[in-house]
Amino acid sequence: MSSQHRRMSALIFSGVVAGIGGAIVVAAPIATATPVECRAPGASTAGNVTDTSECSATSTNGSAAAAFGVDGSATSAAGPQALALAIAMSGGTAMSQAQNLSGPAAIAIGPGATVDLTGVRPGLTLGIATNGATVTVDGVGTPTCTGGPAFAGDFQTLQGCLSLR
């Protein structure tokens, strides 16, 4: 890959990340729901439910999982030697499953936003979906982003997707 192509790719990636960050700030309404958090370091399980928010996290020895819900549903599970993170806000659903030195981070913000990430081999994965969007990463095939503003970057497969609808 030429140095000009690398610079252009870096600029595009930076712009996408900045745009998604701005969309998150704009899409996140003032939270009136009771936030919940679930942290599962080492071999442990955590769960928490309120009238509008829920989370669950499960991990094995040598791993950690965390899930946070603010008027949303977040679930994370970390198998051997892995990290899993799920964050759901304002009606979103985030799911993150990890194993084998992977580190998926699922962020779903807004009504109908769904992110489902699976880490199966070494590498980080980031998936962000806003109102009505769906992001899916299985760690083997090409990530998919549909239905609205969404982004995924998968360093397990060195692939990603972007939806701006």
Question: Average pLDDT for residues 54-73, to the nearest whole number?
Answer: 97
Evaluate if residue 1 carries a pLDDT over 50: no
d(CA 146, CA 134): 5
Q: Is pTM, for the whole model, over 0.85?
A: no
pLDDT digits (tens, 9 = 90+) for 2-59: 444 333 333 333 344 444 444 444 444 444 678 999 999 999 999 999 999 999 999 9
CA-closest candidate to residue 89, choices 63, 121, 115: 115
d(CA 165, CA 112): 14
Q: Which two tokens stand for residue 47?
A: 């769960």
d(CA 123, CA 108): 21
Over pLDDT 90: what percentage of the chain?
78
Q: With cut-offs at 50, 70 and 90, classify the pLDDT of residue 165.
A: confident
Listed range (33-37, 75-79, 126-130) with the worst mean pLDDT? 33-37
Contacts of 69 (CB under 8 A, 6+ apart): 35, 36, 37, 48, 53, 54, 55, 87, 88, 89
**What are the sequence ranges of the domains in the chain?**
3-163
Q: Report the mean per-residue pLDDT for the chain.
A: 86
142-147 contact pairs (CB < 8 A, 24+): 147/112
d(CA 144, CA 152): 8
d(CA 52, CA 49): 8
Q: With cut-offs at 50, 70 and 90, classify the pLDDT of residue 113.
A: very high
